Amino acid sequence: MAAGGSYSMVEYFGGDGGYRCGYCKHEKGNFSHGMWSHTMTVKDYQDLIDRGWRRSGKYVYKPTMNKTCCPQYTIRCHALNFHPSKTHKKTLKRMNKFLSKGERPVEQNDVGHEGEPMDSMHEGVHPPPQDPLKIDLTDVEDIFTSPDPNTDTKSTTSSTSREDAAPVQADKTSNDAPKPGKGADPSRPLCRKAKDIRKERRLQKEQQKQQATSSIPAPSKSASNQPKLLEEFISEFLPNDPLHRLEVRLVPVRFEDPGFLASYKQSAALYACYQMTVHGDPPYECGESEFKRFLCDSPLEAESAPDGPDMGYGSFHQQYWLDDRIVAVGVLDILPSCVSSVYLYYHPDFSSLSLGTYTALREIAFTRQLQKQSPKLAYYYLGFYVHSCPKMRYKGQYRPSDLLCPETYVWMPIERCIPRLEISAYSRLNEDAKAGDAHALKDMGRALVLHRRTVMPYAAYTRKRKGSNDEKEVEQYASLVGQTCAERILLYRA
């Protein structure tokens, strides 16, 4: 049973047919399994994405890794140990220059430059059913106990500004003439070589510097060698009164939330603009209904926990407001162990600022912030890493990071995975030949199903429905979600 007494409930659709691949454009090369999630606890979804599943709206899918043309490996970044690369630092510096002085870099023609999100909304996704079964959840409301959603709190963070500390200035060196001394003419100084005079002046300067800084404690060796944190780079060189103001707002994806509702129209218009300009989608595919279905509808139940983050768990939009205008939105799921990036859309006018990279760095910093409130929440999930598609390899630049082994569901450091993926697009990844799936299906009879408003183990269902011919389908489903999830998630049976 899930936290708060609620269940997840899904309809499984299989996945035997091949579909067009969004990465290599193979017409029948994309294979995946899918299910429609009517409701989902954050615990169950965390366990599912740790078995290679991922959601698009309420549709949850899992690529058939050893069969699909472009295998998609779940990737996560260790947020607490992350240090920005040179490219990441340049992106943050570029943004801060724009905020401070309005300076914009030269426009880049290639939208897919390093770090930009190239996976469109539907790439790699088994097409969801157009008309899933309409289950009236009120008919089974005695089964579900809604958790107490603690999502009324709107977390607002803004770009902080910091003035650079002025370095300690050494006193000006003295240019006094040498003192009179003994010589051929006692009234005149001794004759000296120019290089000796320069050497003496250098020594004087060093002594004066030491005197000027003697009252300031020297930093310890460990502190001076400590690399700057990501958060420091984000706010570096920002003055107190920048030319542009950037504010980051986190709003829960709930129409009952005032912040989400007030910005809904502007956010939907930004999505349409992004899809048509960056991905070339026709207008009829970018309407408000599509926006709502893919980026606002979520199966995740809003939940709170004593050791969880202040805003609770669930689905959120992280909005980037530039001078009172939304210029980018990151769609996020906050789960017990991670912040999972669902999608990003932004205004094409600001593509030269590398908003894909910038927002990813802000999301890593956000994950680090949440970890202080919830110690288990320590990872940032970037979706899928597709090594066979060069434009998707940028996700591997957020290190340290791991890829999920598609057979044992054990996380492996990406550095050890790359050589294997260079040889073959599909790889087991786990180097231990004896390792297996710790949550492999062992007893299908214990899988939970929902039939006629009654929750029961599959074994009881088969006794009740003698002659049922869905055993292969249920076995496939339970194998894919694993024994643990099969015993918690309700599989709808008509």
* pLDDT tens string 351-372: 999 999 999 999 999 999 999 9
CA distance 378 to 367: 7
Residue 63 structure tokens: 């690529």
Q: Within 10 A of 105 (CB to CB), how many other CB atoms are there?
A: 14
CA distance 435 to 438: 9
104: left (phi over 0), alpha (psi -120 to 50) or beta: beta
Q: How big is the chain, counted in residues?
A: 494
Residue 487 structure tokens: 């015993």
The pTM is what? Answer: 0.81
- List of residues 6+ apart from 431 with CB closer than 8 A: 412, 416
Query: What is the domain partition of the chain in residue ranges?
Result: 3-161+236-438
CA distance 280 to 285: 10
CA distance 187 to 270: 84
In whole angstroms, how far apart are CA 141 and each of 5, 331, 447? 12, 29, 21
**CA 43 to chain CA mean position, Å:** 18
CA distance 183 to 240: 61
pLDDT 10s digit of each residue in the chain, 494 long? 444 458 999 999 988 789 999 999 999 999 999 999 999 999 999 999 999 999 999 999 999 999 999 999 999 999 999 999 999 999 999 999 999 999 988 765 433 333 344 454 445 555 566 556 656 555 555 555 444 434 444 444 444 334 333 333 333 333 444 444 444 455 555 556 676 667 667 766 666 655 554 444 444 445 557 789 999 999 998 999 999 999 999 999 999 999 999 999 999 999 999 999 999 999 999 999 999 999 999 999 999 999 999 999 999 999 999 999 999 999 999 999 999 999 999 999 999 999 999 999 999 999 999 999 999 999 999 999 999 999 999 999 999 999 999 999 999 999 999 999 999 999 999 999 999 999 999 999 999 999 999 999 999 999 988 877 899 999 999 999 999 999 999 999 98
Instruction: Please choose, from the candidates 201, 207, 216, 208, the residue with its C-alpha nearest in 3D space to the C-alpha of residue 167.
Output: 216
**Cα three-residue angle 45-49-53, rounded to 5 degrees:** 105
**Cα three-residue angle 491-21-474, rounded to 5 degrees:** 20
Confirm if 331 and 295 have CB atoms less than 8 A apart.
yes
Pairing of strands 338-346, 379-385: parallel
Tell me if residue 407 falls in helix, strand or coil: coil
CA distance 427 to 15: 21
Render the burial of 383-409: b for 16+ CB within 10 Å, e for the rest: bbbbbbbeebebbbbbeebbbbbbebb
- Residue owning tokens 């190239």: 118
Tell me if residue 249 falls in helix, strand or coil: strand
Beta bridge partners of 161: none
